[in-house]
Structure 1
Amino acid sequence: MDLKEIGERVARERAQAGLSQRELAVRAELSQPTLARIELGERPALTLAELDRVAAALSVPLTLLTKGNPVRQRMQVAARASEGAEEELRRAEGLVGEILALDDRLDRFAPDDHRADRQRAARLKRVLTEVVDAEREGRDLAEELRERLGLGLGPVPDLAELVESVIGLDTAALTLPQGVSGFTALDPAREVTISVVNTSDVPERQRFSLAHELGHVLLSDGVAAHRLDGRRTPAEKRCDAFARHLLAPAEGIRRWMECLSVSEPGRRECAMAARHYGVSLPVLLIQCKELGLLTDSQAKKMQGPTGRELAWTYGWGPQYNVECQAAARVRPPRRIMERAIEAYRAGRIGVRAIASLSGAEPRITERELEEAGIRPPQVALSGRVDVRGLIARRGRPAYRAAEPPEDGQERR
């Protein structure tokens, strides 16, 4: 066995379970220094019995520690990233892989009651293997989805909630590396798909990225390389069209302009329409050109201001600041968070697993859970376990005494 690799897996699974080294050491009946050496790969030898106790304490199969996590090995990814961002892309894959691995782990503690949701999403999917007309195909899918979901011509108030609760797909906002705006990962064995957007993006860009990712999922296009020689691929253009028409339907924009009694909208009218539909000004201008409300030259003259500049210019600056603050926060997949809370309440995972999902400090997360009335069982792992009593009841010396002295210290 490669003890260094095994140690890295133990550390990774311990973090996944939200346990400190001390907490896992107590569960596995090891001393904390011994566990630390195992995780660092510094133990000269490691018996299968010891490793089996660690696996049992983590509630994972022994083979997961000896051979690795099958979820990460089988995970399929499709990320939207700028050119030259390969290293950032690998880091982003690691973040999403951790979430999928936790979801797989939770199957041992909490039943997955969301399979019907995923079946509902499957019924919405199409299979278009070749792009013939990117704009038309993207628009048709968006209009079909809007009709099936009863969205009419109005804005989508909470796209993430729509995707998770109505369509049945997992979404998240994570702090992804710079250059990675959107990310979709699939665990084919469990048929779990997660679409992720970057917390560093502004609200309107986040919404567009999520809608774009939804397009790839519903179209089942299996795209892996999303930029070709610096140009957007036809599949990317099709999903751009889908996102535009899903978030800002052309007929809805036409009627909006009619309500304003303008035949040739200016920047103010376009900014207000973009605000109404929750999209960026460039997206709104593309729709106006498609409708024949603006020429290319007119739309080009309106380009330039950022969403923040438009918000403060036309009167919704304070609201926009609040939305930017919300967009900058980590938002875990609701379904997975729900299952993790259930496992935490049952004492099967630690608070650090919840904190890792939510992007918060463990102490803050624990306090918030306490305030919500959510607590693990009374026999907690946070230092209340009587280690000496446990050893005495078993009638054998501490495991630390069976180990060589740590850091040159004498045995006591």
Structure 2
Amino acid sequence: MARTTVVAMENGKRRPRATELVKLAALSGRAVGDFLLPEVATDHVDFAALFRPAPNGRSTVNAARDEDIRQFEQLCRWYVELESLAGASLARRYPEPYDIADTPAERAALAVATAERNRLGLGDGPIGDLWDLLETDVGLRAFAIPMRDRRIAGMFVYSEAFGGCIAVNANHPEDRRRWSGVQEYGRFLTMRHRAEVTILSATKRPKERERFADAFARHFLMPIAGLTRRIDAIRRANETPFTLGDLWQLANLYGVSVQAMTWRLEELRLLSIGTWDRLTEFGVQPSQAKRLLGLTASESGTPHLPTRYQVLAVQSYLGGGLSEGQLAERLLADRVSVRELIHQMTTVEQPTEDGIWAQATLDLSQPIMA
């Protein structure tokens, strides 16, 4: 396609022909329908540039990671696009960035985690649906997507157009995803304008910001007062000592790995130092123990998209703003799965006067509050 033709179309002096739209879509790696959707003001945001290392920094970007970043960016763009179609922007309930300069990582993490729990009215108990909390009460866009680079734990980026955005690796177990999500949340709270890709590392000398993120996750997910009180209650209620089964159930309640819970209890001197090492020496396997106790975990590799994102996508489809193919693309699903989701969202069962349960159809766009 001639450069003059492209320039003329960009300047609005010439309408593209159908064949030209097909060529442009192929060149840009996008669907033809994407060019027909309302434009949203996010074109100036380039995730690849935001994640680029500093001039003298060491680049660790590879092809797989680059593709993961592009997928993350695409989901964020689609989210803002869906909001534009529905006329419903995500409320941002952000605190001012916490200044932790010159404060030791552990002390800073405890202070920020405590302040955020108080701000969000969480008390000191376990956190249930972390993802809805981050989106509804904070205003972050949080995705779990299967990443090609399996070493990636999570990503965080902030821009004025998108707001704060988090992605965690859906190839990892749910307890690891939650941990990674809270780590990225901690980065948002303290280093908002610094995009970050977190890589799983076995190094024994992590950087200060990595120590902060890890400590923040520990304090935010397992606050000292609430955890200590719960342990005391278990000991009082049981006629036997604190058991391995109690440990597994406690980790499940707080949504963390058994290893993370064990280390936390060791840190608080509620378990003797070295308990985890002894458990691993005995050949304890967390996944097998969870099955025996009836504690099920989310399936790894399955994308988790925000509930609000899914509702907006289905609303846009039902309103004619998206085709079924575009809806499936945005939900990272096949068309059969998408049809099942639409049925679940728009159908409710309710009893008739005869006591027979009948299905009723819901209109997701119907106003119910003035």
Q: TM-score, normalised by structure 1?
A: 0.66
User: Which secondary structure state, in structure 2, belongs to the residue aligned with residue 324 of structure 1?
Assistant: coil
Q: CA deviation at 1:375?
A: 9.4
> Aligned pair 1:105/2:81, yes or no?
yes
Q: How does 1:268-347 map to 2 (within 5 A)?
A: 268-303=245-280, 305-313=284-292, 315-316=293-294, 319-320=295-296, 323-325=297-299, 328-347=301-320
From 147, 152, 166, the equivalent of 1:176 is 147
Which string of whole-angstrom CA distances, capped at 9 and with x for unpartnered residues, describes residues 7-40 of structure 1?
xxxxxxxxxxxxxxxxxxxx97636xx7555545
From 85, 88, 100, the equivalent of 1:128 is 100
User: Which secondary structure state, in structure 2, belongs to the residue aligned with residue 261 of structure 1?
Assistant: helix
CA contact (8 A) 1:208 1:279 kept: yes
From 22, 30, 36, the equivalent of 2:18 is 30
User: Which secondary structure state, in structure 2, belongs to the residue aligned with residue 182 of structure 1?
Assistant: strand
Q: CA deviation at 1:180?
A: 1.4
User: Which secondary structure state, in structure 1, belongs to the residue aligned with residue 325 of structure 2?
Assistant: helix
Give the whole-Å Cα distance in 1 for the aligned partners of 2:323 and 2:362: 12
> Aligned pair 1:241/2:251, yes or no?
no
Aligned residue for 1:86? 62
**Structure with the greater relative contact order (CA < 8 A, sep ≥ 6): 1 or 2?**
1
Aligned residue for 2:367? none
The structure richer in helix per residue is 1
Comparing 99-108 with 138-147, which one deviates more in the overlay?
99-108
Q: CA deviation at 1:95?
A: 0.6
Give the whole-Å Cα distance in 1 for the aligned partners of 2:96 and 2:24: 48
> Aligned pair 1:139/2:85, yes or no?
no
Aligned residue for 2:338? 365
Give the whole-Å Cα distance in 2 for the aligned partners of 1:255 and 1:242: 20
2:256 is aligned with what amino acid?
V
User: Which secondary structure state, in structure 2, belongs to the residue aligned with residue 194 of structure 1?
Assistant: strand
Aligned residue for 1:49? none
Which string of whole-angstrom CA distances, capped at 9 and with x for unpartnered residues, describes residues 104-148 of structure 1?
43465332332xx21x1x226413345x32122112222222223
Which string of whole-angstrom CA distances, capped at 9 and with x for unpartnered residues, describes residues 66-113 of structure 1?
xx943336863499xxx9673332111011111122234346533233
Give the whole-Å Cα distance in 1 for the aligned partners of 2:141 and 2:16: 34
Aligned residue for 2:228? 254
1:253 is aligned with what amino acid?
L
1:86 is aligned with what amino acid?
N
1:143 is aligned with what amino acid?
T
Give the whole-Å Cα distance in 2 for the aligned partners of 1:216 and 1:333: 20
1:334 is aligned with what amino acid?
T
Q: CA deviation at 1:199?
A: 1.5
Q: CA deviation at 1:171?
A: 0.9
- Aligned CA distance change for structure 1 residues 237 and 38 (closer, same or farther; 3 Å): closer
CA contact (8 A) 1:267 1:302 kept: no
Give the whole-Å Cα distance in 2 for the aligned partners of 1:173 and 1:36: 31
- Aligned CA distance change for structure 1 residues 169 and 39 (closer, same or farther; 3 Å): closer
Instruction: List alignment gaps of at least 5 residues for structure 1.
Output: 7-26, 42-52, 377-412
Please identify the structure whose Cα radius of gyration is greater.
1
Which string of whole-angstrom CA distances, capped at 9 and with x for unpartnered residues, describes residues 199-239 of structure 1?
11112111111111111111226364757995421111111
From 115, 128, 150, the equivalent of 2:121 is 150
- Aligned CA distance change for structure 1 residues 336 and 286 (closer, same or farther; 3 Å): same
- Aligned CA distance change for structure 1 residues 77 and 265 (closer, same or farther; 3 Å): farther
Q: CA deviation at 1:290?
A: 2.2
CA contact (8 A) 2:97 2:189 kept: yes
Aligned residue for 1:206? 177
Give the whole-Å Cα distance in 2 for the aligned partners of 1:286 and 1:357: 39
Instruction: List alignment gaps of at least 5 residues for structure 2.
Output: 7-14, 54-58, 347-360, 365-370
- Aligned CA distance change for structure 1 residues 30 and 113 (closer, same or farther; 3 Å): closer
Query: Over the residues paired in the alignment, what is the CA RMSD in angstroms?
Result: 3.8
Aligned length: 322
- Aligned CA distance change for structure 1 residues 57 and 28 (closer, same or farther; 3 Å): farther
Question: Could you tell me the percent identity over the aligned residues?
Answer: 21
Give the whole-Å Cα distance in 2 for the aligned partners of 1:153 and 1:260: 17
Give the whole-Å Cα distance in 2 for the aligned partners of 1:351 and 1:224: 34
Aligned residue for 1:220? 191
Give the whole-Å Cα distance in 2 for the aligned partners of 1:352 and 1:202: 29
Q: CA deviation at 1:255?
A: 1.8
